[in-house]
Amino acid sequence: MACARQVGKTTTTSLKALHVAVYEPGSLVLIISPSQRQSDEMLLRVKALYRALGQAKPSRDSGSELVLENGSRIVSLPGTEGTSRGFAGAKLIVLDEAARVPDDIFASVLPMVASDGAIWALSTPWGRRGWFFEGFESREATWEKHRVTVYESAQYDDVRIAEVRAALGGFVFASDYECVFGDTDTQLFGSELVRAAFTSAVKELVLP
């Protein structure tokens, strides 16, 4: 899911994580973000939603883990290769700010999902690079894809959109609010120019 800022993606995904944990006893849900703090923030949202249900108290509640009475676990992890290993059979893996999760972390996460599990990757775009961009833009990728821009969010009216656009540079607004995978403002050569420099018409030079 390529999502604009503040369109409710964290709340929606927290509800999904809690739904899996409550209705599928003994399940494992992993929340992975570029940093531990970001993952913990989503876990805090999950805990608040769980309390709002009026359910029994969890059997264990720590800063980075919530264990329910039915044996389900929701664990928050940082996007580092060493700490994200060691889990298996996850019913749901949430990759928050996925565009900023490095390729090697994504590769280490893939084997953790159960055969009947799912990976939810959600993020604002961050340039034309990395596994999130390739998975979202590639026609060959098997992901189910959704894009939610600022224009689809009821939290933004025309006045607020105009204010945000005026306050930000073109790249930041297009990326964070229109969900465009574009070139950064600091690139010397744009992606289209780089791609145009390659051709199949030039024959390979073979030395004798």
Would 197 be classed as within a structural domain? no
Residue 74 is predicted with a pLDDT of: 96
Question: Beta strands 60-62 and 65-67: pairing type?
Answer: antiparallel
- Which CATH number is 122's domain given? 3.40.50.300
3-state percent helix, strand, coil for the chain, nearest multiple of 5: 40, 20, 45
Collapse the DSSP code of 122 into the 3-class scheme (helix H, G, I; strand E, B; otherwise coil) and give the result.
strand
Residue 21 is predicted with a pLDDT of: 95
Residue 61 is predicted with a pLDDT of: 76
Residue 56: other Cβ atoms inside 10 A? 9
Would 89 be classed as within a structural domain? yes
Residue 206 is predicted with a pLDDT of: 76
Would 142 be classed as within a structural domain? yes
Residue 118 is predicted with a pLDDT of: 94
Q: How buried is 77 (Cβ within 10 angstroms: 0-12 exposed, 13-18 middle, 19+ buried)?
A: buried
CA distance 200 to 26: 54
> Count of domains in the chain?
1
Residue 46 is predicted with a pLDDT of: 94
Collapse the DSSP code of 65 into the 3-class scheme (helix H, G, I; strand E, B; otherwise coil) and give the result.
strand
Would 108 be classed as within a structural domain? yes
Would 201 be classed as within a structural domain? no
Collapse the DSSP code of 165 into the 3-class scheme (helix H, G, I; strand E, B; otherwise coil) and give the result.
helix
CA distance 137 to 181: 9
Whose tokens are 């490095």? That residue is 102
Residue 204 is predicted with a pLDDT of: 74
Cα–Cα distances in Å, from 42 out to 38, 127, 185? 7, 24, 30
Whose tokens are 């849900």? That residue is 29
Residue 142 is predicted with a pLDDT of: 80
Choose among 94, 83, 120, 105: nearest CA to 42: 94
Mean pLDDT by 10 residues, the chain (208 residues): 90 94 96 92 93 76 87 90 76 94 90 92 89 86 87 88 87 88 61 63 74
Contact of 58 with 50, CB cutoff 8 Å: yes
Would 96 be classed as within a structural domain? yes
Question: Beta strands 65-67 and 73-78: pairing type?
Answer: antiparallel
Range of the domain at 137: 2-190
Would 205 be classed as within a structural domain? no
